[in-house]
Structure 1
Amino acid sequence: MSAFDSIMQGLEEARAFSTGQKAGAAVHEISLPEIDVARIRAQTGLSQTEFARSIGVAKGTLLNWEQKRRMPQGPAQVLLALIERKPSLVQDLLSG
């Protein structure tokens, strides 16, 4: 099967799945634990402004995460999980 055929098959399976049809595609669901952004930030010792700047998000976004109006997604979720394990991660990387 060519790369083009493989991609087309995947697109057709995704389209079928999105309309509720069984397309033979394997679906993997991952549940991630809820991230306590306020606790993670507190571990770093940074203010909200400093922390938001250090991870590249707007302070308003950080406030929404901390107040649980929204939850971080994708790369932000991964970065926060890393910082949770090593609170000095961002400072270590940025201080070069």
Structure 2
Amino acid sequence: MSGFGDDLIRAMGEALAHAKGEGPAVLHEPVSPREVREKARLTQAQMAPLMGMSLSGYRKWEQGQRRVSGPAAALLRVIQREPEAVKRALG
């Protein structure tokens, strides 16, 4: 089987174990885009490009119409802790 096939089978096994309540699960505290933005003293128009997204897409996060997931949540946590570093890196 290919490397991709092996990875897919392993991932499905992990998903099944997680659904059964077995194995480790990585849980992160939810992050509020609005709170992060306000703490960093940014407008929505300034925050959207830092997140690599459109202003309308960012607004949907703050309005609860879209859910923040994966890498975006991680980037929000970095902005929450080190907003100036992110601005320098992405600015």
Q: TM-score, normalised by structure 1?
A: 0.67
Q: Would you say the 8 A contact 2:48–2:58 is kept in 1? A: yes
Tell me which of 81, 87, 90 is aligned to 1:91: 87
Does the CA-based 8 Å contact 1:55-1:90 persist in structure 2? Answer: no
Q: Tell me, yes or no, if structure 1 residue 60 matches structure 2 residue 32.
A: no
Larger RCO: 1 or 2 (CA < 8 Å, sep 6+): 2
Matched, 1:32 2:28: yes
After superposition, the CA RMSD in angstroms is 2.9
- Deviation at 1:65? 1.2
* Cα distance in 1 for residues equivalent to 2:36 and 2:82: 10
Give 1:17 shift: 6.7
Structure 1: which amino acid aligns with 2:74? V
* Residue 11 in structure 1 maps to residue 45 in structure 2: no
How many residue pairs align between the two structures? 87
Which amino acid in structure 2 is aligned with residue 56 of structure 1? G
Deviations 1:42-72 (A, max 9, x none): 1222211111012211112211111222221
Kindly tell me: are residues 13 and 50 of structure 1, through their superposed partners in 2, closer, same or farther at Cα, counting changes over 3 Å?
A: closer
Q: Is this contact kept in 1: 2:78–2:86, CA < 8 A? A: no
Long gaps (5+) in structure 1: none
Overall identity of the aligned pairs, in %: 24
